[in-house]
Homo-oligomer: A and B are copies of this chain.
Amino acid sequence: MVIADRIYPLLEGSSAIRKLFEEGKALAAEVGWENVYDYSLGNPSVPAPEAVKDSIIRNLNEKDPLYVHGYMNNAGYEDVRAAIAKDLNERFGSDFSLEDIIMTVGAAAGINAILHLFLNPGDEVIAFAPFFGEYRNYVITAGGELKAVPADTETFQLNIAALGEVITDKTKLIIVNNPNNPTGVIYSGETLDRLQEAIKEAEKRIGHPIYVISDEPYRELVYDGNELPWMPDHIKNCLIVYSFSKSLSLPGERIGYIAIPKNIENYEEVQGGLMVTNRVATVNAPSLIQLTVADCLKERPNLSVYDSNRKLLYNKLTELGFECLKPQGTFYLFMKSPIEDYDRFTEEAKEEHLLLVDASGFGCPGYVRLAYCVSEDMIRRSFAAFERLAARMGL
């Protein structure tokens, strides 16, 4: 083995995902793509707004290519960062200035820049189950250890009661993903206030601050007039990580930012440090698309498509007797296995050509995640398969 010890287990996890993908492909080859119902991928199904294309072409036609494709301040173009700060301030009453915004290669690179900045070898990062499985890989790669707080399967809010015993002297960071992938739940302001209290108490015990990474790629994907709490209103030491992947349907372009509230503890050290770890990892976020997102800050995804998919799927599945969380945000639906034998459930779903994601990887076995960023047509065609699955489950 020539590769690092901590990386080796990641390869095995990766082969599992590849295996699933290959199984799906083999299935499609056998029965045809139209008879496979793929709910596995969080890949936006709504195209980027026309304004994105217009902005790219305008920038290419009107600006100097040395500017559009060139190096800028490693933290991003200053007017792009100023525009984002202004937009956040208008929406949330915050007081960001351009220095507080660091453009990143998507949310993943933003989280990685934070982890690499904070983690000494063996330091711990906490996530609340169920959580985006890739968090574990980010933390391991940065030399740390991810500790999971077990899910509160009653409310699927943050399980604050169980947090205290997961925090140790080595806890540096907590990741909160709101609205949450994979459940679609919005953590309420009250929940976040309770989190802040629990953190304050723990900090007294362990003697150093704990920072919260607020991972918000689904910030604009919220339904039914629900409001997403603004993290800095509830959590003192928070770092906001954002991605335009979902809000502008640009997941392949890798564009996002970190926003650093001015009143966090050790602001200068953290801000200066993130400028460095972000630069060391990727130099800067892609240039042309930085200019584009700054032009498109008022654009919103076509939520109506996701919303009607959400209702269609949720209504059908609950009608069939499946126990589902009603998604408040994101484009995911979280469903409980109707039987104790969870492996049999996912196996039989596969036999019905339903590709659902086993939530064990999210730290919450007994559940599956359905990504409904798919065509309405596929959802409708999948209903017969769900009906057969319900029958097999004795519903």
Contacts and interface: CB of A to CB of B under 8 A. Distances in A.
A44 B56 contact: no
A251 B285 CA distance: 11
Interface in A40-73: 41, 43-45, 47-48, 52-53, 56-57, 60, 64-66, 68-72
A14 B117 CA distance: 14
Interface stretch (A25-33, A274-282, A347-355): A274-282
A253 interface: yes
A272 interface: yes
Given A47-B66, A64-B47, A105-B105, A2 B119 contact: no
Contacts of A208: 2
Contact of A272 (B14, B60, B118, B251): B14
Interface stretch (A4-12, A147-155, A311-319, A323-331): A4-12
A71 B252 contact: yes
Interface string A112-131: 10001111110100000000
B53 A66 contact: no
B57 A70 contact: no
A232 interface: no
A128 to B, nearest CB: 21
B253 A286 contact: yes
B52 A65 contact: yes
Copies of this polypeptide in the complex: 2
Contacts of A53: 60, 65
A220 B297 CA distance: 38
Contacts of A252: 68-72, 284, 286-288
A134 B66 CA distance: 23
A104 to B, nearest CB: 10
Contacts of A68: 252
Interface residues on A, range: 35 or more
Contact of A41 (B45, B71, B254): B71
A289 interface: yes
A287 B123 CA distance: 34
A116 B41 CA distance: 27
Contact of A254 (B3, B141, B284): B284
A273 B28 CA distance: 28
Interface string A8-25: 001100110000000000
A226 interface: no
B137 A280 contact: yes
Interface string A222-260: 000000000000000000000000000111111100000
Given A282-B105, A283-B254, A273 B65 contact: no
Nearest to A50: B65
Interface of A: 1-7, 10-11, 14-15, 41, 43-45, 47-48, 52-53, 56-57, 60, 64-66, 68-72, 105-106, 108-109, 112, 116-121, 123, 134, 137-138, 141, 143, 172, 208-209, 211, 249-255, 265-266, 269-270, 272-273, 275-277, 279-289
14 contacts: A2-B118, A3-B269, A7-B276, A10-B276, A11-B276, A15-B272, A53-B65, A57-B60, A71-B252, A105-B105, A108-B281, A137-B280, A143-B143, A254-B284
Which 10 pairs, one residue from A and one from B, show the smallest C-beta to C-beta distance? A252-B287, A47-B65, A286-B286, A69-B250, A48-B65, A137-B280, A3-B273, A43-B71, A70-B252, A4-B120
